[in-house]
Amino acid sequence: MSDVIKNMIAKSKRAIFDVEAIVQFNVGQIQVSRSTIEENITDAQQSYLIHAAGNRELIMRTTDDVFRNRIMMIEQLNPTNTDQEAFQLSMLNRVKVEYLDHRTKINRKMSTIALKMADAIKALGEVSDTFSELNEEMVNYIDEIADSNGQWMDGELKQQMEAASHHGNEMRVQEIEEVAKSIRNSSVETRKIIEDTFRTGVDLKEKLNNTQDSGNEMREQVISLREKVDANQKRVSDQIAG
């Protein structure tokens, strides 16, 4: 082996060692950054349950009750002339229209939210599909390497060594050097993506925590409002009994 080739191989070995450190560091960081994102799935589900299930249902029931009280108060009026009777009937219609108008606006927003939720689930499904494609790519690569290993064991590797030449070795070493440079550049770009993922995960967690906190505060507010509605309902009930 010439000193030139020997030095080139040693240089390649050093470059590969350095690149390997970067690549393996990225492997670990990717796992951690992905975990940071995946942890937010639980927080997102919790936030969704607070706002979309618990609070929404409580608010809807309270809305029905507050309008139920409103209608009952109008029905308890005792008109003494046609104008007062017309007032009572038109007020009943007005309150019902107010309720329907409110419910229509809420329905529009609810349907928009449902569509947005469908898009979010679709996006998560697309992420799963991408993982599936990546897994298939890795499996195919392993299969190719396993087949190549079999061919090497059958004598191909020994034949390549026996046919080795100075020019071929030099070309291989140069190729390795170029690939190592490409790996380093790619790994540096990948690290930027990892850092962005970390920041996104941290920001998302903070936002979800704030959303959960606001949801819990909203629940307390609705419970207090519920007490007001229930108090009015008792007054209306007492009026009916009276």
The phi and psi torsions of 2 (rounded to 5 degrees) equal -75, 160
150: CB partners within 8 A, 6+ apart? none
- What local confidence, expressed as pLDDT, does residue 156 receive? 94
CB atoms within 10 A of CB 191: 15
Domain coordinates in residue numbering, the chain: 3-241
Burial of residue 40, with CB atoms counted within 10 A of its CB: 0-12 exposed, 13-18 middle, 19 or more buried: buried
Distance CA 39, CA 100 (A): 41
Distances in Å between the alpha carbon of 76 and those of 64, 86, 170?
Answer: 18, 14, 101
- What local confidence, expressed as pLDDT, does residue 242 receive? 57
Q: Tens of pLDDT along the chain (242 residues)?
A: 677 777 888 888 888 888 899 899 989 989 888 888 888 888 888 888 888 888 999 999 999 999 999 999 999 999 999 999 999 999 999 999 999 999 999 999 999 999 999 999 999 899 999 999 999 999 999 999 999 999 999 999 999 999 988 889 889 889 999 999 999 999 999 999 999 998 998 898 899 999 989 999 998 998 888 888 888 888 888 888 65
Give the CB-side neighbour count of residue 43, counting CA atoms within 13 A.
19
Distance CA 209, CA 44 (A): 9
pTM (two decimals): 0.75
* 132, 138, 139, 142 alpha-carbon torsion, rounded to 10°: 180
- What local confidence, expressed as pLDDT, does residue 79 receive? 94
End-to-end CA distance of the chain: 112
CB atoms within 10 A of CB 37: 15
DSSP code of 81? Answer: S
Distance CA 192, CA 224 (A): 48
Residue type, 106: I
